[in-house]
Amino acid sequence: MIEKISPPITTIKHVATNSDQYIPENFQQVAAGMESQFIDLMIQQMRKSVPLEEAQSSAEEIFSAMEDSERAKILSTTKKGIGLKDLVLDEIYPKKFRNRLAYDSYMKQQEAFNQQTIKANSAMRENRDNIVIHEKKDVTNE
């Protein structure tokens, strides 16, 4: 009997404990912001479900909304929040990209993009500075 031996398959395995260090900051901020907004919306809806004995003034409504937003921020910034941040990160920056090679590649692309943006902005400024505005001649003095 002849057995077919397949070559070993090599893959990049991510380590769950260290993979978070390879998530770019802007992705983390987006995920945290989405979690905070969701919690804020959830708290607002919970507040609406409780009947009030008397109507609130507009100042009380504003204060309650600000208080709800702060509660949402606090809840989302605890160690794991409610877990929505991790779910969002899994969708927008999958675990297969959470390694040093992918992170370094992403950061190089961002740096190149930033340099191009700086060049484009400075070129636009130069063009703007070179624009000459012609003044109208007063034909009545001739």
Q: What is the pLDDT of residues 89-138, one digit of tens each?
A: 999 999 999 999 999 999 999 999 999 999 898 888 887 767 667 666 66
Q: In this predicted structure, what is the pLDDT of residue 127?
A: 77
Q: Does 7 have pLDDT greater than 70?
A: no
Q: What is the pLDDT of residues 37-87, one digit of tens each?
A: 999 999 999 988 988 888 889 999 999 999 999 999 998 888 788 889 999
Q: In this predicted structure, what is the pLDDT of residue 66?
A: 94
8 Å CB contact between 36 and 82:
no
Residue 26 CA to residue 31 CA, distance in Å, equals: 9
DSSP characters for 60-104?
HHHHHHHHHHHHHHHHHHSSSTTSHHHHHHHHHS-GGG-SHHHHH
